[in-house]
């Protein structure tokens, strides 16, 4: 190439670059729907269908001819999953895909703080964006119906209002990073047993009042760009292609303009997928869930089988074009958005966000004063075990496998390759330093499992675990310690908190109950720390002086737990679901409908889920929904309403003052429940309809206002297929939990 030719070549490339740059800028000025229309006209039939199904485990095709990029998904909702091989589930072996692991969504919900949900969404959205993922497969908002559900740790509790309030800022802040939040699992995926086919029978009122509100809020308030269909069936149609759920409710009634994505392998029939609302199909294997055929993505239901029906004129192009429009809208909102930052990944700032959420979500269940002799010192203490006072503590015994076990791996699709994970034991050592001696004893052990997502990983040799010997060692050590910190609960092993199977018992595994009972006898200054995503039976709870629910806290879990244990952070979390004394106190188990007969499961409890059921049956919980203690105390005063009656288009505001009456700075969640006193149909004794978290310095008083309107007074009328608020007397119940009501105020709803 001579110099003149080279100069011409450079000039030509420059002109081409300028042309496409100006074209791109011009395109960005075109309204979104117009861009979709213009692009749709240029697509061939083959290109349209190719947009609708996977081309690898976590991606779908773009249109290279038109410069339309691929879609890349990542499992969430607690962090960005490591890269897997194109056509297999095994890890790809990258060295730069180690993420920040954020707390489980049960922990986020336990903060009762939408500001934490916003921080969470923004941080995980930045991580997804940096890794070039334009769809985050999360968050999950299925309702906590049974404490045995293996995926409860991925969800936001038992109350539809709380879940709705927490999911909206999460979704909005993920999406401001140019990443679609794919809210899951829509709908009624409340158990893992038989999840791939079980048909859920639930009345229409319960569907709309309990199981759909968080999804509705995510769509209508959060503006979610994607929804993932569930594995189970409803009305004998799979949720991933379900006329009533997808076409009638989601797309017609809620005006959802995003994409419906199948759960992996959740599609089962081409014709049903076409007409019943599915837009994008992904698979657990390359041929749905039936067989593992390598690179057989053209066999998907929305692939060649769909193309063949189109070519033969057996299905209409109008339905196809609606699906394609939705996929193009997803791409233009994400990968081809006008403003899209680069994001950031694995940063100390994101780790700090995770730690803050973990600290604020930890729930202090019990913390009573004790007056017990400690064997080593022979001194008497009349103070709570927590926070641990290092000025009078020389030896700290840490007991339990969960003090050292990694919790960011395992659990199914939410398993993560974390950049690092601070264990509770390490967090305690970090905090204590040389102020006291920290001793660790295992106390119990779980069977070892093979490493997830590792090709050719072998099951470890089975080991005989001598629980009696482990227990005896821990109990002997406890007698000589100033303070014992026990770490137990569940883990991410199969049939614990893990996708694909439910728990087999409500009890703690690995003989933990026996160990805790003996530890409490050996040393009353024992704090029990539960790490789990589910409630567990606590037959020793009345004996224990201090119980802490610490959830799965992610990368910074150990530092967060230590901050609470030693009083650097005052616990302010509240339970997002009820802790039952025994399993049969839960409606699904009391009524005997869980887990169904293998074909159907009937939700006989209707709208009476969680605390609604407990109050209907007058059953006392072990720990109530909304419960959570503090190292300080709060007083509620001057509780008033700004009016005594409202019309249908009006609002009513309840005002009060909250005073921190203790010596620690802290936060309180003021909760407002509504009771309908004159309803024509059966309603719960109370339902959460507003809450506010307030942070108060020791001795400080703040004014708190909670406002509601007619929607807070409404129920779903199955005769009208719409929401109704009846005239009459209502009662506002304001308190610190569903079981700790501080004041009641009556008011009237009247005609306009």
Total-model pTM: 0.94
pLDDT for the residue numbered 290: 65
* Length of the chain as a residue count: 752
* Integer CA distances (angstroms), 266 to 101, 188, 290, 497, 730, in order: 27, 14, 11, 22, 43
* Whole-number Å distance between alpha carbons of 297 and 295: 6
User: The dihedral of CA 598, 602, 604, 609: what is its sign?
Assistant: positive
Mean pLDDT calculated for residue range 159-187:
98
SS3 assignment, position 259: strand
**CB neighbours (10 Å) of residue 479?**
15
Question: What number does CATH give the domain 348-577?
Answer: 3.40.50.1700
Cβ contact 586:147 at 8 Å: yes
**Domain layout of the chain by residue ranges:** 1-30, 38-86+101-333, 348-577, 632-750
Question: 């897997």: which residue's tokens?
Answer: 84
**What pLDDT does residue 371 have?**
57
Catalytic residues: 263
* Position 224 confidence tier, pLDDT thresholds 50, 70, 90: very high
Task: Give the mean pLDDT of 17-25.
Answer: 47
> In whole angstroms, what is the distance from residue 494 CA to residue 477 CA?
31
Q: Quick check: 123 and 540 in contact, CB under 8 A?
A: no
pLDDT in tens, 438-459: 999 999 999 999 888 888 888 8
Q: What integer pLDDT is reported at residue 648 of this predicted model?
A: 84
pLDDT at 382: 65
Coil, helix or strand at residue 324 = helix
DSSP E strand boundaries for 371-525: 372-373, 380-381, 395-399, 437-441, 483-489
User: In sequence order, what are the residues at sequence separation of 6 or more whose Cβ sits closer than 8 angstroms to the Cβ of residue 337?
Assistant: 178
Q: What's the pLDDT at 373?
A: 39
The residue among 25 and 335 whose pLDDT is bigger is 335
Per-chain mean pLDDT for the chain: 94
Q: Which of 123-132, 409-418, 735-744 has the lowest mean pLDDT?
A: 409-418
Average pLDDT over residues 165-180: 98
Q: Round to whole Å and give the CA distance between 715 and 207.
A: 12
Give residue 495's region: left, alpha or beta (phi > 0; psi -120 to 50).
left
Residue 287's pLDDT band (cuts 50, 70, 90): low
Ramachandran area for residue 554 (φ above 0: left; ψ -120 to 50: alpha; else beta): left
3-state secondary structure 125-189: HHHHHHCCCCEEECCECCCCCCCCCCCHHHCCCCCHHHHHHHHHHHHHHHHCCCCEEEEEEECCC
CA 67 to chain centre: 35
CA angle 278, 279, 280 (to 5 degrees): 105
User: Residue 331 has what pLDDT?
Assistant: 98
Question: Cβ-count burial of 365 within 10 angstroms (0-12 exposed, 13-18 middle, 19+ buried)?
Answer: buried
Same fold: 38-86+101-333 with 632-750: no
* Residue 291, strand partner residues: 287
Residue 374: pLDDT above 50?
no
Helix (H, G, I), strand (E, B) or coil at 234: strand
| Fold assignment, 632-750 | Immunoglobulin-like (2.60.40)
Instruction: For residue 411, report the phi and psi dihedrals to the nearest 5 degrees.
Output: 90, 0
* HSE-up of residue 698 (Cα within 13 Å, Cβ side): 7
Order of all β-strands in the sheet with 728-737 = 645-647, 740-750, 728-737, 666-676, 687-696
Instruction: Name the strand (E) or helix (H) holding 746.
Output: strand 740-750
Q: What percent of the chain shows pLDDT beyond 70?
A: 94
pLDDT at 645 over 80: yes
- What pLDDT is recorded for position 286? 65
Q: Does domain 38-86+101-333 have CATH number 3.40.50.2300?
A: no
E strand intervals along 435-539: 437-441, 483-489, 526-531
Distance CA 428, CA 560 (A): 10
Instruction: Dump pLDDT digits (tens) for 526-567.
Output: 999 999 999 999 999 999 999 999 999 999 999 999 999 999
**Closest to 133 measured CA to CA, from 205, 80, 202:** 80
């Amino acid at each position: 190439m001579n110099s003149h030719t080279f100069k011409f070549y450079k000039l030509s490339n420059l002109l081409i670059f300028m042309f496409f740059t100006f074209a791109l800028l011009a395109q960005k000025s075109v309204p979104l729907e117009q861009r979709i229309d213009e692009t749709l006209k240029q697509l061939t039939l083959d290109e349209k269908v190719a947009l609708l199904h996977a081309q690898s485990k976590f991606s779908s095709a773009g249109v290279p001819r038109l410069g339309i990029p691929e879609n890349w998904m990542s499992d969430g909702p607690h962090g960005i999953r490591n890269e897997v091989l194109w056509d297999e589930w095994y890890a790809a072996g990258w060295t730069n895909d180690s993420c920040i692991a954020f707390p489980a969504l049960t922990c986020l919900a336990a903060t009762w703080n939408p500001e934490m949900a916003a921080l969470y969404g923004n941080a995980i959205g930045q991580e997804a964006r940096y890794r070039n993922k334009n769809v985050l497969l999360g968050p999950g908002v299925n309702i906590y119906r049974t404490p045995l559900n293996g995926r409860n740790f991925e969800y936001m509790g038992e109350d539809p209002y709380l879940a709705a309030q927490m999911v909206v800022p999460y979704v909005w802040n993920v999406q401001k990073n140019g990443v679609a939040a794919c809210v899951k699992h829509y709908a009624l995926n409340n158990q893992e047993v038989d999840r791939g086919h079980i048909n859920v029978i639930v009345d229409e009122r319960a569907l709309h009042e309990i199981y759909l509100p968080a999804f509705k809020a995510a769509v209508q308030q959060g503006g979610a760009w994607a929804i993932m269909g569930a594995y189970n069936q409803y009305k004998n149609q799979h949720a991933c292609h379900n006329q009533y759920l997808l076409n009638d409710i989601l797309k017609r009634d809620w005006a959802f303009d995003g994409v419906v994505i199948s759960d992996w392998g959740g599609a089962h029939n081409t014709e049903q997928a076409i007409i019943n609302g599915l837009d994008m199909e992904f698979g657990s294997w390359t041929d749905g869930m039936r067989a593992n055929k390598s690179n057989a993505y053209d066999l998907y239901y929305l692939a060649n089988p769909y193309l063949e029906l189109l070519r033969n004129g057996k299905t209409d192009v109008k339905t196809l074009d609606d699906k394609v429009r939705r996929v193009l809208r997803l791409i233009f909102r994400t990968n081809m958005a006008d403003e899209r930052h680069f994001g950031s990944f694995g940063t100390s700032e994101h780790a700090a966000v995770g730690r803050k959420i973990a600290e604020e979500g930890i729930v202090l269940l019990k913390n009573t004063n004790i007056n017990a002799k400690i064997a080593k010192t022979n001194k008497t203490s009349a103070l709570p075990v927590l926070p641990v006072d290092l000025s009078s503590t020389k030896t700290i015994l840490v007991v339990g496998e969960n003090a050292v076990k990694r919790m960011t791996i395992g659990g199914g699709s939410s398993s993560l390759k974390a950049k690092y994970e601070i264990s509770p034991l390490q967090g305690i050592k970090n905090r204590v330093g040389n102020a006291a001696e920290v001793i660790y004893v295992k106390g119990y052990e779980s069977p070892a499992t093979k490493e997830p997502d590792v090709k050719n990983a072998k099951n470890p040799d089975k080991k005989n675990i001598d629980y009696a010997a482990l227990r005896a060692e821990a109990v002997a050590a406890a007698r000589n310690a100033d303070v014992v910190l026990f770490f137990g609960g569940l883990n991410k092993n199969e049939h614990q908190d893990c996708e694909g199977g439910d728990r087999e018992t409500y009890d703690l595994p690995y003989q933990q109950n026996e160990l805790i009972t003996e530890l409490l006898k050996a040393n009353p200054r024992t704090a029990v720390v539960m790490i789990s995503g589910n409630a567990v039976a606590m037959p020793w709870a009345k004996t224990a002086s201090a119980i802490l629910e610490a959830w799965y806290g992610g990368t910074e879990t150990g530092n967060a737990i230590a901050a609470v244990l030693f009083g650097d952070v005052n616990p302010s979390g509240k339970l997002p679901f009820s802790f039952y004394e025994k399993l049969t106190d839960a409606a699904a188990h009391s009524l005997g409908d869980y887990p169904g007969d293998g074909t159907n499961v009937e939700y006989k409890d209707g709208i009476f889920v969680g605390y609604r059921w407990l109050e209907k049956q007058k059953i006392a919980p072990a720990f109530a929904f909304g419960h959570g203690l503090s190292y300080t105390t709060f007083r509620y005063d001057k509780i008033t309403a700004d009016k005594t009656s409202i019309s249908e288009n009006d609002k009513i505001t309840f005002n009060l003052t909250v005073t921190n009456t203790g010596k620690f700075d802290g936060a309180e969640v003021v909760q407002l429940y509504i009771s309908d006193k004159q309803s024509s149909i059966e309603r719960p004794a109370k339902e959460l309809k507003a809450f506010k978290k307030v942070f108060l310095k020791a001795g400080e008083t703040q004014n708190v206002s909670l406002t509601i309107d007619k929607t807070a007074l409404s129920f779903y009328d199955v005769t009208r297929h719409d929401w109704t608020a009846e005239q009459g007397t209502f009662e506002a119940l304001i308190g610190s939990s569903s079981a700790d009501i501080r004041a009641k105020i009556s008011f009237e709803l009247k005609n306009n």
